[in-house]
Structure formats: structure tokens, C-alpha cells
Amino acid sequence: MVEDAGLAPPGGLPAARRAALERLEANNSAWRLVLRGGSPNAAPEASTGPDNLSSMGDVLYRECLRFPARARKNLAELTELTLPKGGGVLEFAVLLPGDSLKILPTWASAKTGQWGGLALADSIRVGRWLLDQSSRHFLLHARYGRFNVTRARLSYFSCFVASNGYRHDQVLLDASIVLELYGLRRAQRLDYLALEPERVSRPCIHRNDGELIHHGASCQALLEDPDRHFQLGELRYVSFSQLERFKRSRRHDVDDYDLGMMRALETNNRAALLWHRGRYELSLAVRRARRGIRRLARRLFGKQLAELYHRRHNRRSH
């Protein structure tokens, strides 16, 4: 089966993927991930070298996935696993090895179109990106690394987490930082949710409890449900689909721009993406100009005139 990038086909495959990932992550697991790359025009069964997976071991899950250049780039950066150039398909399977697996080459030595096996640690690391639904969406669609400032911001947030004594499984990054990770637009601040109270505050970091209602779930539920978050390094993020639900519920002006960008990313519509990003950038420039006018009014005419301007502007906005 060849699946379109990011679209879960019918037949319960998300549940089957989750079950396969659980086998890989089990303590002292004997299950392994094997994979091969190839051309999108190649038949799923065509390969050089051993192909009969049932002779290699017990196959729990097998899939052939369309794998565009963006996904190959993301996979290399996230897992250090490099696919053959020009290959538009990735086929992978989770199996319990038999004796014949000893003759199967490792992924590093496998040729194009040939099955290659991964060690347990690599099977788990790569398997999470291929089998977890929210992580898989990021792998297939994100323009990871588009903004140079992102890594520094996440390092800054990690220091904030340590300062508050949070465990990483108690904290969830929310809202616009997810869009920045996907390469859609820069975040204006770092919004987050947490199970424990905040003890130390930091500039540009905002606890988003006041808007948790738009998620339709508690922070605990978001952290426990793998379909509602994904993990990158030690940090956890609200999933793309959960962020869509959040923005449809809140429906601020910025949410309409963001939803347009999110739809354009999933449909690979570059013109629509540029259009909605342009609308967002224009609205951001207008907001900054208004803040500048208020600051100038305070400086030149005093606090009362600035407050009068603010009240009149608010009446026009509603």
C-alpha cells in the first residue's frame, strides 16, 4: 500500500501503527524496524536482495509511504538517517527477527531498493517519526529549520523549564511556536501549558491556561493522548490537528490567517500559503504601528490623551 503523505488511509492503520510502535518501545524488545527506499514508480514488492519479509521473521506491520524531498530532509535532520537521493518512496516494516535476518544488511550498507535493518535504539528513534501519527505529520509536512531563531528560543525555554523545576513530561508548548517549528511564521512569544504552577517567570514566555478552554481538554489529557501532541527532543508540542481545533474555536483574526496557512501547507499550495502569510504580516505591521502611535501620544501629549485614543480605537474595533 502506498499512502499519500500525511493522510491516514481507511482500515484502522493509525491504530495498527500505534500497536507496532508499542512493540518497539517495550522493555528489552526483540522487534526491529527494517526499511528500504525506492522510486515512486517502482512496484512495492520490487527490490534487490531478500524481499520475503515473512522468511526474515514475524511481520507485525508493513507500509509503503510516499516520501517527498521535504520528508527526506526532515528525516535526515531529525534522525540522522539518510535516504537514497531521488527515491520518492519509503517502505518499512516492524518484525520479530528470525535467523535469516542475520544476512540482512544494515541500513548503512543497504543498496537502493534493498531492505536494511536498524538496531533497537535506532528502530525506536526512527519508528516514532514513522508510526506516531502526530510526529509523522510533522515529518512529512514541516519546513523544519526555516527560522534560524527557533533553536535559540527552544534552548531559552528549556532553561525556563529547569528554573521552574518542571519535568519535561509535565510541559506542553502551545500555539504559535508550533507554527514556527512547521516553518509557517515566527512566534511572537512562547505559549505553554503545564501541570504544575509557575514559580519563575521569564520575558516572552506566557502560560496559556486562560485559553485552555479552546483545546476542549485539560493539559493532562493533551499530554496523555499521542494524537494531541508530538515530541521533538525533550520538549512536547501541541499537535498540528489539535492546534487547528484550538484556532477554529478561538477564531481571532490571527487564527483565520493561521488556519489559511495551515490548510495551504497540507495541500502544498504555495500561492495560498504566501497569500495568507502576507495577510498575517500586514496585520502584524498594523498592530505594531498602533502601538507606536500610542507610545508617541503618551510622550508628546500625556497619559490622558493616550487613553482617549485607546478608548476610541477599541470602540471602532468591536
Query: Greatest CA separation found in the chain?
Result: 84
Give 317's pLDDT tier (boundaries 50, 70, 90): very low
Let me know whether 254 and 297 are in one domain: no
Let me know whether 195 and 301 are in one domain: no
Which has the higher per-residue pLDDT, 47 or 3? 3
Which has the higher per-residue pLDDT, 279 or 46? 279
C-alpha cell at 285: 505591521
Let me know whether 182 and 206 are in one domain: yes
Q: Is residue 144 part of a domain?
A: no
Q: Is residue 291 part of a domain?
A: yes
Q: Is residue 182 part of a domain?
A: yes
Instruction: Report whether 213 contacts 174 (CB < 8 A).
Output: no
Q: Is residue 138 part of a domain?
A: no
Q: Say whether pLDDT at 239 is over 60.
A: yes
Let me know whether 295 and 212 are in one domain: no
Q: What pLDDT, on a 0 to 100 scale, did the predictor assign at position 18? A: 92
Which has the higher per-residue pLDDT, 129 or 82? 129
* Residue 205: strand, helix, or coil: strand
Let me know whether 165 and 207 are in one domain: yes
Let me know whether 202 and 165 are in one domain: yes
Give 154's pLDDT tier (boundaries 50, 70, 90): very high
Q: Say whether pLDDT at 305 is over 70.
A: no
| Distance from C-alpha of 168 to C-alpha of 165, rounded to nearest angstrom | 9
Let me know whether 27 and 116 are in one domain: yes
- Tens of pLDDT, residue by residue over 246-288, are 999 999 989 999 999 999 999 999 999 999 999 999 998 988 8
Q: Is residue 145 part of a domain?
A: no
Q: Is residue 279 part of a domain?
A: yes
Q: What pLDDT, on a 0 to 100 scale, did the predictor assign at position 287? A: 83
Structural domain of 180: 150-263
Query: Which of 106-120, 226-240, 260-274 is the least confident region?
Result: 106-120
Let me know whether 193 and 275 are in one domain: no
Q: How many domains does the chain have?
A: 3
Q: What pLDDT, on a 0 to 100 scale, did the predictor assign at position 308? A: 67
Q: Between the ranges 56-60, 98-102, 107-111, 127-131, where is the mean pLDDT highest?
A: 127-131
Question: For residue 12, is it left (φ>0), alpha (ψ between -120 and 50) or beta?
Answer: left
